Amino acid sequence: MRIVVIGGSGHIGTFLVPRLVRAGHEVVNLSRTGGTGYAGVPEWQQVRQVVADRQQQDADGTFAGTVRSLEPDVVIDLVCFTVESATALVCGLRGAVGHLVHCGSIWRHGPSRKLPIAEGSGSAGAPFDEYGVQKDAIARMLKDETASGGLVTTSLHPGHIVGPGWHPTGPLGNVDPAVWWSISAGGVVQVPGSGVETLHHVHADDVAQAFERAVERRDAAAGEDFTVVAPTALTVRGYIDIASGWFGRSATVESVSWDEYRASTTADYARESWGHLHRSHVFTIEKATTLLGYAPRYEPEEAVLESVRWLIDHGRLEVAGPLKA
């Protein structure tokens, strides 16, 4: 099939585009930069690169036409963030494309109520920031579109995506690299809240696997939404304890109030931490496993370790001592 990947040069596309090439598909990467992801693998040489500024084309109403002109069988949209943008794409592809697969986010859910959280279970509250509100609204619109006999759509909702090439969401729920120095030194890590809050990561290649399987199993995926995460989630304290062991250390956790934590870091890092830890998510992947055959390779700590090792090896993360894991 001819598959157009919108935004294929980022975290997910780094692994997804080569997967699709290896599966024998003709792949077009439609992106703002025409990049080839974080890993220089030979499959990218077989990918057609089309450069387009989605934001500008959405504004002038031409983006859906750009995608449609590429005559895809399948469109995978990795960089859609508003209902307006998603709706315009659906309207432009309806009747011309066999399957639209959208990348959502677990932040379509608000704070957890019951664990694990399953799709459509009501086990989490409503989303509380604009990003989550939009992602939830897009997923609902896509489900309604397919149910009404329109375009066949699927939405996949990854957890905190991690992989080699970028900083992982750390145990404080943000990407502040300073925590890794404290962990690697066996120092004190100040944790806002109780430390039993949870983070649900997923390796970028496991996310890519889920997208590939949604394409392969179009009938099973049609009109559905799937949560895509690692088999398990990490508590804040557990994350610190496991990561300390990678350096042969034992960091000390000190609980502090949110006011104290906010005073000790930047506004952006504090806001990021609150967004993750207030939600305190843990999800089940039973639906994706059953309908798509999703089988993640990575436990969350394995995915994070791979990322941390890459950052250290490439001089992008300062730590107090060498990895022993």
- The DSSP line for 142-186 is HHHHHHTTSS-EEEEEE-EEE-TTSPPP-TTSS--THHHHHHHHT
Residue 283 contacts residue 117 (beta carbons within 8 Å):
yes
CA dist list (Å): 78 to 8, 99, 107, 124, 173: 7, 14, 15, 24, 23
Residue 159 contacts residue 135 (beta carbons within 8 Å):
no
Instruction: Mark 217-230 as b/e (b = at least 16 C-beta within 10 Å).
Output: bbeebebbbbbbbb
| pTM (whole model) above 0.85 | yes
Residues 30-41: pLDDT tens digits?
A: 999 888 888 779
Q: Which residue has the tokens 């983070």?
A: 199
pLDDT at 33: 87
pLDDT at 39: 78
pLDDT at 125: 97
Angle at 184 between CA 181 and CA 188, to 5 degrees: 70
pLDDT at 24: 98
pLDDT at 165: 93
Cis peptide before 127 (omega within 30 of 0): no
Residue 151 contacts residue 97 (beta carbons within 8 Å):
yes
Query: H or E stretch including 227?
Result: strand 225-228
In angstroms, the CA 73 to CA 69 distance is 12
3-class state of residue 31 by DSSP:
strand
Residues of the chain with pLDDT under 50: none
pLDDT at 184: 98
Residue 76 contacts residue 215 (beta carbons within 8 Å):
yes
In angstroms, the CA 197 to CA 35 distance is 36
Query: H or E stretch including 203?
Result: strand 201-203
- What burial class does residue 165 get, using C-beta atoms within 10 Å of its C-beta: 0-12 exposed, 13-18 middle, 19+ buried? middle
Residues 92-131: pLDDT tens digits?
A: 999 999 999 999 999 999 999 999 999 999 999 999 999 9
| Amino acid residing at 254 | E
Residue 154: strand pairing partners: 101
Query: H or E stretch including 106?
Result: none
In angstroms, the CA 20 to CA 47 distance is 10
Q: Which residue, 124, 276, 283, is CA-closest to 202? A: 283
Q: Which 8-state DSSP code applies to residue 98?
A: S
Residue 173 contacts residue 267 (beta carbons within 8 Å):
no
pLDDT at 40: 79
